[in-house]
Amino acid sequence: MELDRAWSIFKSDDTFKVKLEGEPVWIEHIDQANGMATVQVGSRPTDTVTVNVERLEEGE
């Protein structure tokens, strides 16, 4: 996913499906300077991982 798209999803009031390696995730934070995103994996808020935004995919 492009950084600009990840940022617009993060800032939007709408809900978008985003996946990391096929698994649904929720974007918690975008580090625009470094192109990184912190995402929640699964339903537990403590299950987060920070990845390059290019690894994220917009779901269908």
Q: What percent of the chain has pLDDT over 90?
A: 87
> Across residues 13-19, what is the average pLDDT?
95
Give the residue extent of every domain in the chain: 3-58
**Topology of the domain comprising 3-58:** SH3 type barrels. (2.30.30)
∠ CA 7-56-42, nearest 5°, is 100
- pLDDT grade for 52, boundaries at 50, 70 and 90: very high
Looking at residue 35, what is its pLDDT?
97
* Spatial contact of 9 and 27, defined as CB atoms under 8 Å apart: yes
pLDDT digit string, tens, across residues 17-38: 999 999 999 999 999 999 999 9
